[in-house]
Amino acid sequence: MPTESKLCCSLLAVVAVVSGYVEELDEKFMEHRQNELWLVEFYAPWCAYCHTFEPIWYEVGAELKSMGSPVNFNIHGYPTIKLFKGELSFDYKGPRTKDAIIEFTNRVAGPTVRHLSSVQLFQHAMSHHDLFFVYIGGKSLLKAQYHKVATEYIIHTYFFSASVDVLPKAVTLDEVPVIAVFKDGTYYLYNEVLDGDLSPWVNRERFPSYFQIDNFSLYQMGELSKLVALAVVDEMTPSEESILYKTLIERLSTEYRDQYKNDYQFGYVTDTEYINGIIMGEIMMPSIIVLNMSVDGYFLPGSKIETIEDVIHFLNSVLRGSVKLLGGNGILQQTKRLFYKTKSTVVTLFQTAPAFCCVVCALPVGIVVIIIWGTCTALPADDERLAEEATSSAASDGKRAKLLQPDNREKTSEEKKED
Alpha carbon distance 316, 348 (integer Å): 38
Alpha carbon distance 230, 169 (integer Å): 35
Alpha carbon distance 409, 97 (integer Å): 98
Closest CA to 265 of 199, 220, 295: 220
- Could you tell me if 164 and 173 are in contact, meaning their C-beta atoms sit under 8 angstroms apart? yes
Dihedral Cα 243, 244, 246, 250, nearest 10 deg: 130
Alpha carbon distance 373, 371 (integer Å): 6
Please identify every residue annotated as catalytic. Answer: 47, 50
Kindly calculate the radius of gyration of the chain based on its CA atoms and give it in whole angstroms. 34
**355-379: b or e for each residue (b if 16 or more CB lie within 10 Å)?**
eebeeeeeeeeeeeeeeeeeeeeee
- Prior bond to 238 cis, omega within 30? no
- Could you tell me if 150 and 112 are in contact, meaning their C-beta atoms sit under 8 angstroms apart? yes
- Could you tell me if 260 and 315 are in contact, meaning their C-beta atoms sit under 8 angstroms apart? yes
The alpha helices in 161-266, defined as continuous H runs, are 192-195, 198-205, 215-220, 240-255, 257-260
Alpha carbon distance 247, 94 (integer Å): 26
* Burial degree of 29 (CB within 10 A; 0-12, 13-18, 19+): buried
Alpha carbon distance 98, 58 (integer Å): 9
